[in-house]
């Protein structure tokens, strides 16, 4: 007979908005090395691919059926699949990436979401809208949308229209590329946030506008605040990259199974953990868990 904890955990796996069945990822093209947008340092392409392989393997370890898309040399940033679609409650919204070089990435993703995953797909009709998935923070109860250099007010309105069952609040982002560069979800009702003045200011705006209350976990580095919480696991940056932040996760979030990984090369192109996958929940598969 299952113990009380096991029953609670099974309920979490079945009911939690952070329970997923699939992930979509994309391999790294050769063009990523020199042509990815926002490169800040020389990228070791072989190392980047090895680190990405570990990332994909980790997604499989936490119970996800991973769909790997081939590298697209015409789109150096194609590894950052998060930006081209937002999936919630079994429905996919195709975004309108804010950088001109990324607009055509949406075309292939439409085919994968419709034909491979058989999801209903919503398209943004407003020609003035821009929306990057990296600016979309879903808490399990509501959306926050970063208004950044990549996402505008019309894009935020398009998201709200696509998922009317959830409150949707725009949050102004300053110098960060995306909202999730400094705040993500590290558990049910737990926001992980960086410690920079800008990150703290963004958190204050979120707390002021939020429909629900959240706990916060602050880490010393903004980039380390970008984590992936799924299926009772927390994928976070390793101590090799951010030792102080890794210690915070070990001390404060030991009730989750921690999965530290290293993504130094992805970071050189302003990429991060959430950037490299689209997480999807297909409810018909949940009967098979446990």
Which tokens go with 288?
A: 């098979």
Q: Please report the sign of the dihedral spanned by the C-alpha atoms of residue 244, residue 56, residue 145, residue 189.
A: negative
Task: Please indicate whether residue 22 is annotated as part of the active site.
Answer: no
At residue 108's C-alpha, the angle toward residues 107 and 110, to 5°, is 70
Residue 26 bears catalytic tag: no
Taking CA atoms, 51 is separated from 48, 74, 84, 269, in Å, by: 5, 22, 22, 14
- In DSSP terms, which residues pair with 87 in a beta bridge? 92
Strand, helix or coil at 136? strand
**Catalytic residue from among 178, 181, 182, 192:** 178
Range list of β-strands (E), 108-209: 121-122, 136-138, 143-147, 168-172, 183-187, 190-193
Token pair for 240: 């090799």
Give the whole-angstrom CA distance, residue 265 versus residue 161: 36
Helix (H) or strand (E) run with residue 87 in it: strand 85-88
Selecting among 78, 168, 181, 275, the annotated active-site residue is: 275
CA gyration radius, the chain: 18
Report the C-alpha gap between 229 and 21 in whole angstroms. 13
Q: Which residues are catalytic?
A: 178, 275
């Amino acid at each position: 007979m299952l113990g009380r904890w096991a029953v609670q955990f099974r309920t979490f796996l079945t009911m939690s908005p952070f329970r997923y069945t699939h992930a979509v990822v994309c391999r790294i093209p050769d063009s990523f090395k020199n042509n990815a947008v926002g490169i800040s340092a020389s990228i070791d392409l072989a190392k980047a691919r090895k680190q990405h392989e570990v990332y994909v393997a980790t997604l499989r370890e936490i119970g996800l059926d991973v769909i790997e898309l081939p590298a697209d040399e015409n789109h150096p940033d194609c590894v950052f699949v998060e930006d081209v679609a937002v999936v919630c409650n079994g429905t996919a919204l195709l975004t309108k990436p804010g950088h001109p070089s990324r607009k055509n990435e949406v075309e292939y993703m439409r085919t994968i979401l419709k034909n491979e995953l058989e999801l209903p797909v919503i398209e943004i009709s407003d020609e003035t809208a821009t929306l990057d998935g990296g600016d979309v923070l879903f808490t399990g109860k509501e959306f926050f949308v970063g208004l950044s250099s990549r996402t505008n007010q019309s894009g935020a309105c398009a998201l709200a229209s696509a998922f009317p069952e959830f409150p949707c609040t725009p949050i102004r982002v300053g110098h960060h590329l995306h909202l999730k560069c400094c705040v993500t979800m590290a558990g049910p009702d737990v926001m992980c946030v960086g410690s920079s003045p800008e990150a703290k200011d963004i958190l204050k705006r979120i707390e002021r506008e939020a429909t629900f209350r959240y706990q916060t976990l602050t880490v010393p580095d903004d980039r380390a605040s970008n984590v992936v919480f799924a299926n009772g696991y927390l994928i976070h940056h390793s101590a090799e990259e951010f030792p102080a932040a890794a210690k915070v996760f070990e001390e404060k979030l030991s009730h989750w199974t921690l999965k530290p990984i290293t993504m130094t090369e992805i970071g050189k192109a302003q990429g991060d953990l959430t950037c490299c996958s689209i997480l999807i929940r297909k409810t018909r598969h949940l009967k098979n868990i446990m």
